[in-house]
Structure formats: C-alpha cells, structure tokens
C-alpha cells in the first residue's frame, strides 16, 4: 500500500487531510483496488467508480454513529478500506477472508448484509424511524443506492413511505453510473438521464439574481417573483420535481469524482434535517484503462485478471450459461413465439447474445423480478412462450408471482435459473440453494435439473414445448461438466451406473451426477452394489422411480440444494404415499446460511464429495444409517455459532 493509504485505519483519519491529499488518496485506493481485486476476483468496476463518493461520505458523516447502508453491497470495497480493512483484501471472497459484501462479523461499520438490490431504502426508512422514535436526533442515516436499484419496485415502495418522513436525517445518495450489471433501462433511467444532461434551475436562478439585482427599483421584486415560481421553472429546466413532488428534497446532479462538491452537497443534505436525495454522477471503472476503453459491465465482476490488460489470467471450459445461451438462440430461430426476459442481467445470464440476434424479442425489465414474472404470465396468455432467465437466488424475490400469477393461471413460462446450488465466492445471499425447496411447493410447476450440456439442451427444448403449465430449468455456476451418457433411459429415468447387486439406489440431482457415479464406483470396490439414476425432471418425480426403487434396500438422494423440503423429502413423501417402506436418506445442504468460499471447499465441508459419499454408502449398508450427516450438521452449526448472528 502507499503512504497515505497506510495511514488510514478508520474514517477519523480522513478528517485532517487536505484536498490535495484526498485526491492523492483516491489515486492510491484505485491502484490498490486494481492490484488486489485482479489477484482475487471481485466487483472491480463498481468500486473504482465510488472512491471519491465513499471518501466524502465518511468525511461528512460519523460512522458507526451515523449508519451507512449500501444497496447491493458490492460497492462497499472502498468503505471497507476506509474502515481499516485494507489488509484483508489479500483473501477477498476467499475462505477466512473478507466478504465481497458488508459483513457484521467484520466491522461495526457494516449493517446491511443482504446483497440483493432495492432493499436498502427500506432499511434506511426503518432505521431513521427508530432513531426518531428514540429521540436520537443527532444520528443520520445514509443510503447509497445505484441508479439500477431504482428500477426495483421495492425502492419506490420505500420512497413512498420516506416521503411522509419529517425531521429525520435520511440522506439518499443516488450513485448514478448509468449501469447496474448492464446499462440501466426504463423510465427511471430516462428520467435520470434528463437530470444528468440538463443545466439545473438553481444555476438559472443564480444567473437571474446576479442580473436582476443590478437592475434599479424593479430588479429585486422581479427576482422574488421568479424565486416564487421556482417549481414551474424547475419542471421546465430540470425536472427533478418528481422527487420533490414526493416530498423529498433533491440536490444535484453532483460530480461524483469531485470530493469538494460532494462534501458541500452532503453537508447541505445532512443539515436539512429531513429526507434528501443527493444525485451523484460517477463513472463505473474509473481509473482503470481496460474498463474505460471497454464496456463497463465487463468489469462489473471479474475473476483473476491481468491488472494491466484486464484480460483473464486463465480460461475455464465452456460454461453452463453459454450452453443455455446458444441453445435458446437455436430454439428461437425455429420458434417465433419464444421471447427472453431478464432482470438487469443480460450479460450474466447469456441473453446478450440472444438480444444481438433478436432485439425485439428480448426484454430487460431492470431489477424487477416480480414484474418480469407477472409480465411473462401476460405474454403467455397472449400466445408467446417467455423464457425468464435470472440467477437462482433472485427468483426468491418473485415467489408470489410464480405461485399465483404464473402457476395458478397455467401459464406456459419457462424459468431458467443460473447459479443454482452452492455458488461460492459471493456468500450467503448469492447461494442458489433454496430454489428446489421453494419451487417444489408450487402446483403444476415442472422442474428439470440437467447433469451436463447435452441434458441442458434437451430439457430446455422439452420445457419450451410445454405451453399449458410453467417449467423451470436450473444449473450451477461455472464450467459445464463433461457429458455423462446414460446406459439406458427407462421410463424417463436415465441409468448412469449399475452395480452388480441391488444394495443402494442413488438418485442424483442435476450436476451432482459425476460425483455420484464416482462414489458408486468407490463403494463397489468396498463390496457395496450401487445403482445411480438421474430422473432429469425432479418435479414431478417420474412414477417409474417407485418400481425401480423396490429392488433396493435403501435410497440415497444427492442434491446441492437444502435438504429440508428438497428432492430427498419429495422422494420420501412419494414413497410414503405409495405405501413403499424403503428408507430414504438425503445428502445435501443443511438449513443454514453458508459463508463465502470456493464451491469445492463448501461441498467438501458439507460432505458432498465422491469419497465422503462412498464412505457413507459403505456405512449405510453395514449400519443402516448415514452417520456422517449428523457429524456434518454439527460442524456447520459450530461454524455458524462463531460468527455474529444475522
């Protein structure tokens, strides 16, 4: 680290710095971020854009007395540096290292851990209300929210309530870089764009005052009249009146890279004593030449890269995302009724390529998963077949719409969930471990879990051919596994491995197939006969599974979702309903929040490895129980006890 950066251990260390020193510190922080994040991976672009903004906030407000909330949280790296955590960036997003998002266990300066967009304004409303009710009039709440997050309906629900707030120090900093994961779209984007490019009415009034005050006799009264007309002038010259019509004072736009200007705006907002929006214009990826010369969303989140060129240091194999993307394009070439929807994630879900070929059939609704889901139901009613592609964790936000707008109406909508299961680096809020349990209780919904690229293509084609009920396809993050052909397909169930004796039947869910086959082979060497099957469609489960299971003494279900109410539970319920008395054991994720680490490390902790499963199969045959599952649960619970409760 550099000289000034080495001297920053808490926000208080910023107070004595001159403007020249602050500018130098900004450069040092950018250099530090580029060098550090290039080695570990992480959200580089967003944080390069908020260096000056973060410094200004910490100079005007006194954290943790004043509460600073980051919407989405991936823009909090500079905040972490300024609150004394620069040394921890060596292990950013790695086991035992700093989280890529605010974390209460790391610092008293971190409050909001949930990294899903559009929630921070509601938190800010709640905290500021609590301060007001408790008489803590000397405490402020600062919410840093991106322009992309304002496309989320929850933000506007919060603003509607914040508008009624009086005598609460609540400062909403809109970090406007015109991008979330990709370019921000919709009416809110157009509105902010107008504010960015229009000379403010305050400048008009300043000019008028200077001219008219020099005019004898009538100059003063004319200016007062104009000042009284400022609402009308504001609507014409700079239509920030929308915010003020809500009852929220607007300050800006402000150059988000001018610390002095930011400090003046923030101080003004702080002293106002009621909700204020400070509109800061920033540049995502600022100071990093590759990010400035390429599309900024390319550097939203990066893996390990060359700090000079921005290019990946190593390349992985073909990703699940790219297999989905290419197959959907092939389907759309044959099916004009197929359209694609996403929620501000065109690039991350692979729909950017679909958009390039079918721009009019690609709909990006912004960070609004609920709207995407209900809108898709409407499209299905009107004769289209929508394919809604989001990260698995983000479908949680649209459960009501999935249940009552899509499933209840028998809408032919296909949901494609990327990053399903254990995802790794981004921590608790980004693991896609709830989808099977949550979606499993939705009537009429059909769920497919492909084990490889061939099956992803096959299941996607089957899904879009179904128009009288919804379907869902889920797959994990990263490189797609090598194709794993079946010995045979029996009544819709693929048989992947067959032991010589009928001891144990493994039901493999999706990408767990390769691990299950290897575990079966290891167990066979220990004298245990194991058959591995892949039902492909895990909801509803194939009826043939009942007949198949009767040949075995036990059934083991392996999944990378939570065990509670997961596929293992569904299999057990299916057997009970059929009067089939065969023990069902589940290997999966326990009901807990899982911290950030590599996917392989987490799966190893959970016992979801070929070696551990093979050992459990041997134990199961000899004792009738999967003994290690209780041991694993105690291990996970013990780790959870060591961190601050959420």
Residues serving a catalytic function are 284, 369, 397
Backbone angles phi, psi at 531, to 5 degrees: -115, 135
Q: Where are the beta strands (DSSP E) in 395-551?
A: 414-418, 446-448, 471-474, 488-490, 493-497, 504-508, 530-534, 537-539
> Of 522, 459, 521, 479, whose CA–CA distance to 496 is shortest?
521
Transcribe 288-345 into DSSP letters.
-HHHHHS-GGGGSSB-SB-TTT--BSS----BHHHHHHHHHHHHHHH-TTEEEEESS-
Terminal CA-to-CA distance of the chain, rounded, Å? 32
* CA–CA distance, 256 with 54 (Å, rounded to integer): 10
* CA–CA distance, 136 with 124 (Å, rounded to integer): 15
The per-residue b/e assignment along 152-172, b for 16 or more CB within 10 angstroms, e otherwise, is bebbeebbeebeebeebbbbb
Residue 421, strand partner residues: 432
Residue pair 404/361 in contact by the 8 Å Cβ criterion: no
Residue pair 184/155 in contact by the 8 Å Cβ criterion: no
* CA–CA distance, 615 with 24 (Å, rounded to integer): 58
* CA–CA distance, 190 with 171 (Å, rounded to integer): 23
* CA–CA distance, 566 with 259 (Å, rounded to integer): 51
Residue pair 328/460 in contact by the 8 Å Cβ criterion: yes
* Tokens found for residue 463: 């899904």
User: Using CA of residue 379, residue 380, residue 385, residue 386, what is the dihedral sign?
Assistant: positive
* CA–CA distance, 400 with 142 (Å, rounded to integer): 31
């Amino acid at each position: 680290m550099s000289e000034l950066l080495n001297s920053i251990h808490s926000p208080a260390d910023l107070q004595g710095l001159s403007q020249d020193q602050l500018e130098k510190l900004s450069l040092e922080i950018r250099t530090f971020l580029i060098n550090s994040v290039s080695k570990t991976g992480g959200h580089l672009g967003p944080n390069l854009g908020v260096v000056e903004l973060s410094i200004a906030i910490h100079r005007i407000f006194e954290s943790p007395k004043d509460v600073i909330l980051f919407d989405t949280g991936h823009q909090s790296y500079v905040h972490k540096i300024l609150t004394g955590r620069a040394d921890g960036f060596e292990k950013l997003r790695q086991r035992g290292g700093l989280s890529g998002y605010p974390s209460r266990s790391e610092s008293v300066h971190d409050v909001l851990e949930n990294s899903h967009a559009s929630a921070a304004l509601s938190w800010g409303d709640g905290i500021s209300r609590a301060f007001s009710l408790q008489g803590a009039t000397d405490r402020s709440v600062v919410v840093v929210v991106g322009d992309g997050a304002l496309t989320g309906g929850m933000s506007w629900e919060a603003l509607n309530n914040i508008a009624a707030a009086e005598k609460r120090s609540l400062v909403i900093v809109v970090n406007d870089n015109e991008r979330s994961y990709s370019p921000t779209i919709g009416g809110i984007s157009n509105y902010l764009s107008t504010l960015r490019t229009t000379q403010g009415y305050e400048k008009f009034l300043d000019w008028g005052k200077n001219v008219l005050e020099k005019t004898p006799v009538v100059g003063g009264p004319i200016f007062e009249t104009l000042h009284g007309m400022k609402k009308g002038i504001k609507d014409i010259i700079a239509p920030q009146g929308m915010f003020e019509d809500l009852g929220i004072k607007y300050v800006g736009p402000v150059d988000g890279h001018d610390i002095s200007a930011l400090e003046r705006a923030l101080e003004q907002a702080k002293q106002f004593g009621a909700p204020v929006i400070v509109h800061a214009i920033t540049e995502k990826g600022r100071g990093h030449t590759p990010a400035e010369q390429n599309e900024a969303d390319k550097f939203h989140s990066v893996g390990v890269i060359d700090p000079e060129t921005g290019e990946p240091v190593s390349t992985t194999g073909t990703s699940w995302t790219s297999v989905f993307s290419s197959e959907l394009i092939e389907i759309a070439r044959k099916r004009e009724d197929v359209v694609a929807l996403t929620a501000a994630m065109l690039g991350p879900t692979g729909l950017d390529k679909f958009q390039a070929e079918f721009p009019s059939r690609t709909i990006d609704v912004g960070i609004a998963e609920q709207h995407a889901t209900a809108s898709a139901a409407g499209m299905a009613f009107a004769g289209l077949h929508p394919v809604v592609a989001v990260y698995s964790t983000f479908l949680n936000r649209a459960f009501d719409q999935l249940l009552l707008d899509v499933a209840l109406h028998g809408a032919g909508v296909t949901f494609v969930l990327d990053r399903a299961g254990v995802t790794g680096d981004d921590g608790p809020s980004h693991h896609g471990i709830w989808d099977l349990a949550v979606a499993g209780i939705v009537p009429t919904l059909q769920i497919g879990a492909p084990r490889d690229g061939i099956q992803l293509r096959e299941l996607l084609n089957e899904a879009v051919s179904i128009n009288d009920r919804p379907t869902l396809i889920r797959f994990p993050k990263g490189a797609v596994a090598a194709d794993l052909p079946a010995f045979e397909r029996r009544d819709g169930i693929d048989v992947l491995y067959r032991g010589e004796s009928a001891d144990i039947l493994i039901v493999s869910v999706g990408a767990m197939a390769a691990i299950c086959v290897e575990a079966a082979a290891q167990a066979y060497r220990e004298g245990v006969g194991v058959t591995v099957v892949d039902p492909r469609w895990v909801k509803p489960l194939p009826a043939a599974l009942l007949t198949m299971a009767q040949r075995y003494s036990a059934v083991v279900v392996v999944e990378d979702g939570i065990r509670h109410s997961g596929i293992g539970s569904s299999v057990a319920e299916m057997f009970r309903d059929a009067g089939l008395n065969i023990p069902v054991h589940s290997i999966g994720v326990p009901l807990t929040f899982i911290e950030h680490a590599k996917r392989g490390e987490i799966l190893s902790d959970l016992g979801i490895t070929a070696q551990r499963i093979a050992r459990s199969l041997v134990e199961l045959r000899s004792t009738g129980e999967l003994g290690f599952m209780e041991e694993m649960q105690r291990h996970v619970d013990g780790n959870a006890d060591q961190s601050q409760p959420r």
